[in-house]
């Protein structure tokens, strides 16, 4: 069984605080018991599930939505104090409540209550319920406080581990960077060495090419000299055309 006690002010007696207790078994929509007291007198009444369904039908509202409106009005007191208006007639013991909108208000429910013959017993029970609720809330607060302390310790532990991980990560990055610099410098030195070897090889190749070119030029020059000398010798060994021509003429004439 669940209970909820709240303070309300009646429209007919706005300066007097009344206490409203709602008790239900399973859900609020399955029925509940209302107890109203001003500290001196007490009234109570039972609202069955069929009455709740009838109220929802009269308002042309779905039952789930109507029960939600009942919960806001009777249990949580959601919204500002002027959002709901409570009315109670001590003569007829008729209890009703309305929901105020901007310019209009509409009735959420109305129930007939009965005056309790021994209000002291009801008030004592309400006080006990309030004390039990306070004790439960206190125990729940202690439990939540312990949970918060545990979570704070866990958070501090996780934060410490995280900071260590960050430090280790930064140290690892610095070490890797130093190693990368060393490897990079070695690669640069090797590349410079290879460039130097390549330049020296190209210079040697150019020198050999120039040497071969010079040798070929000398051989070509020697061949040209030999050729010129042989040509001169052949020219000297040939007969003089001016000497042989008359003989030929004489021989022709003799014929």
Give 116-134 pLDDT, tens digit per residue. 988 898 889 888 988 988 9
Q: Considering 68, 96, 117, which residue would you say is the last residue of a domain?
A: 117
Tell me the pTM.
0.57
Residue 197 falls inside a structural domain: no
What H or E segment, with its residue span, contains residue 20? strand 17-24
Whether residues 177 and 131 fall in one domain: yes
Whether residues 141 and 155 fall in one domain: yes
The strand pairing partners of 123, in sequence order, are none
Residue 9 falls inside a structural domain: yes
Residue 57 falls inside a structural domain: yes
- Residues whose CB falls within 8 Å of the CB of residue 33, separated by 6 or more in sequence, listed in order: 22, 23, 24, 44, 45, 46, 47
Please tell me the total count of domains within the chain.
Answer: 2
Over residues 241-250, the pLDDT tens digits come to 554 444 444 3
Residue 73 falls inside a structural domain: yes
DSSP secondary structure letter of residue 94 = E
255 vs 82 pLDDT, higher one: 82
Residue 110 falls inside a structural domain: yes
Q: Considering 155, 182, 209, which residue would you say is the last residue of a domain?
A: 182
Provide the residue range defining the domain that includes 91: 2-117
Whether residues 155 and 86 fall in one domain: no
Over residues 53-68, the pLDDT tens digits come to 988 888 888 989 989 8
Give the CATH number for residue 11: 2.170.210.10
243 vs 24 pLDDT, higher one: 24
């Amino acid at each position: 069984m669940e209970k909820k006690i709240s303070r309300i002010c009646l429209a007919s007696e706005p300066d007097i605080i009344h206490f409203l207790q709602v008790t239900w078994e399973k859900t609020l929509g399955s029925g509940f018991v209302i107890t109203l007291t001003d500290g001196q007198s007490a009234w109570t009444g039972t609202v069955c599930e069929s009455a709740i369904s009838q109220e929802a039908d009269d308002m042309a509202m779905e039952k789930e939505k109507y029960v939600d409106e009942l919960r806001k009005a009777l249990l949580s007191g959601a919204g500002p104090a002027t959002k709901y208006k409570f009315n109670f007639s001590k003569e007829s013991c008729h209890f009703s409540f309305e929901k105020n909108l901007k310019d209009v208000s509409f009735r959420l429910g109305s129930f007939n209550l009965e005056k309790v013959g021994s209000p002291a017993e009801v008030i004592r029970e309400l006080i006990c319920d309030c004390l039990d609720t306070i004790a439960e809330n206190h125990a729940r607060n202690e439990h939540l406080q312990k949970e918060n302390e545990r979570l704070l310790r866990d958070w501090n532990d996780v934060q410490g581990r995280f900071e260590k991980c960050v430090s280790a990560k930064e140290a690892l990055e610095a070490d890797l960077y130093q190693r990368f610099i060393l490897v990079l410098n070695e690669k640069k030195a090797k590349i410079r060495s290879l460039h130097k070897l390549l330049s020296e090889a190209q210079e040697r190749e150019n020198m050999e090419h120039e040497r071969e070119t010079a040798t070929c030029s000398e051989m070509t020059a020697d061949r040209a000299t030999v050729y010129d000398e042989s040509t001169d010798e052949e020219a000297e060994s040939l007969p003089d055309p001016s000497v042989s021509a008359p003989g030929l003429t004489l021989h022709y004439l003799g014929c």
